[in-house]
Amino acid sequence: MSLRNFHTPLTEAEVDEIYQLLTPKQRKYMDDFTKRSKKSKWLEVLALKKESS
């Protein structure tokens, strides 16, 4: 895989290819970060809904 300027979103195949290059420790960090990010977004939406009701 060649590195290029990432001005456009990566394709799913590109993301998968990069993910495979990570060490197990890096993969765990990314997985944990993604879970936290999704949870934070969910909590933000919930808070906004409660605020408006």
Q: How many residues comprise the chain?
A: 53
Amino acid at 16: D
3-state secondary structure of 28: helix
pLDDT in tens, 20-53: 999 999 999 988 888 888 888 888 888 888 888 7
Contact 14, 6 (CB under 8 A): no
14 membership: H or E segment, kind and range: helix 12-21
**What are the domain boundaries of the chain?**
24-53
Residues 3-24 have pLDDT tens digits of 656 567 888 898 899 999 999 9
